[in-house]
Amino acid sequence: MSVDTNNAEFQDALNLIQYTRQSVFLTGKAGTGKSTFLRYVCEHTKKKHVVLAPTGIAAINAGGSTMHSFFKLPFYPLLPDDPNLSLQRGRIHEFFKYTKPHRKLLEQIELVIIDEISMVRADIIDAIDRILRVYSHNLREPFGGKQLLLVGDVFQLEPVVKNDEREILNRFYPTPYFFSARVFGQIDLVSIELQKVYRQTDPVFVSVLDHIRTNTAGAADLQLLNTRYGSQIEESEADMYITLATRRDTVDSINEKKLAELPGDSITFEGVIEGDFPESSLATS
């Protein structure tokens, strides 16, 4: 995998992951190489590591597991005063009932990588902290002394919190975001922001996107965007245009139309779900 050796932030983050036990929050806007960094670390690190993500789709993209499936977490809020998460008298052992190989895995992992961290709720982070302390036999250190690499952009997707969950979480956490987890009061998390945008090469377009991202778009930005409104495009199948729509039924009808135009017969593959797995996390449907 080709890596931009001139990217100072990339190298700084890499050195911390490779040569220290320092936990890192790697962030940056879209197209700055966060996923490239994650893949590079996975391919080159000698540390025993696991790649996790909050949703099935994100886990597939990152080449890992969902946090819920790996830690066997329930889908309700995991509150700091939950007796099942108590560090005392083996309550966690009774609640999670991990297999012997899984307990060994949790003990031996050195690096925990979480992608799309912006979508992860604070209570989930605190629950993972407690689990890792117990199964690392290291109750004193945050996350049982494991190194964390958290990858994501808090300007993008936020945690999905239902109204009833929000009321409960608000009693314990100032925000549902991962950085509100109580464990971060005990750990120095180094934040590194990737700056260089690789996905776009037009500096004017990059600037407009950046202003939209930070809610600072001005009249000139909107004027420039509006010059593209209603412009006629010579559509070509080779160009692979993507249509963005505001409603799911519009999207479904476009996709069904395009699928119907494909040559050959359609084939249906039956999937099997085991355990407590929400339908919304299915990779395909």
- CA dihedral over 139, 142, 148, 152, signed as positive or negative: positive
Whether the predicted pLDDT of 107 surpasses 90: yes
**Under 8 Å between Cβ of 36 and 13:** no
Is 216 part of any domain? yes
Residue 115: C-alpha distances to residues 87, 262, 281 (Å)? 27, 34, 16
Please give the tally of structural domains in the chain.
2
Please check whether residue 273 lies inside any domain of the structure.
Answer: no
121 and 253 co-located in one domain: no
Report if residue 178 sits inside a domain.
yes
Taken in order 253, 254, 256, 257, is the CA torsion positive or negative?
positive
pTM of the model: 0.81
Say which residue the tokens 């476009």 belong to. 254
Q: Are residues 154 and 55 in the same domain?
A: yes
Say how far residue 28 (Cα) sits from the centre of its chain: 13
Cα–Cα distance measured from residue 226 to residue 167, given in angstroms and rounded to the nearest whole number: 41
pLDDT at residue number 146 = 96
66 and 129, same structural domain?
Answer: yes
Over residues 206-238, the pLDDT tens digits come to 899 889 988 999 999 999 999 988 887 777 767
Tell me, yes or no, whether 53 and 160 share the same domain: yes
Residues 225, 88: one domain? no
Q: How many CA atoms lie within 13 A of 63 on its CB side?
A: 10
User: Are 50 and 126 within one domain?
Assistant: yes
What is the per-residue pLDDT for 61?
78
Name the more confident of 147 and 242: 147
Angle at 157 between CA 149 and CA 12, to 5 degrees: 30
> Are 126 and 244 part of one and the same domain?
no
- 117 and 209 co-located in one domain: no
In-domain check, residue 173: yes
pLDDT tens sequence across 132-182: 999 999 999 999 999 999 999 999 889 989 999 999 999 999 999 999 999
H/E stretch holding 52: strand 49-53
Q: Are 77 and 164 members of one domain?
A: yes
DSSP 244: -
Mean pLDDT of 20-38: 92
In the predicted structure, residue 53 carries a pLDDT above the cut 70 = yes
Domain enclosing residue 247, as ranges: 203-261
Q: Provide the token pair at 203.
A: 């500096």
Q: Point out the domain boundary residue: 194, 227, 248.
A: 194
Domain assignment of residue 20, yes or no: yes
Quick check: is 266 in a domain? no
Other beta carbons less than 10 A from residue 136's beta carbon: 17
Tell me, what CATH number does 108's domain have?
3.40.50.300
* 284 found inside a domain: no
Rounded to the nearest 10 degrees, the angle between the axes of helix 219-226 and helix 203-213 is 120
Residue tagged 């776009």 (tokens) = 200
Q: What pLDDT digit, counting tens, does each position of 253-284 carry?
A: 999 988 888 898 888 888 777 766 666 666 66
Least confident of 39-48, 86-95, 272-281: 272-281
Do 181 and 49 belong to one domain? yes
Question: Does residue 271 lie within any of the structural domains?
Answer: no
Residue 213, Cβ density class (10 Å: 0-12 exposed, 13-18 middle, ≥19 buried): middle
Same domain, 185 and 149: yes
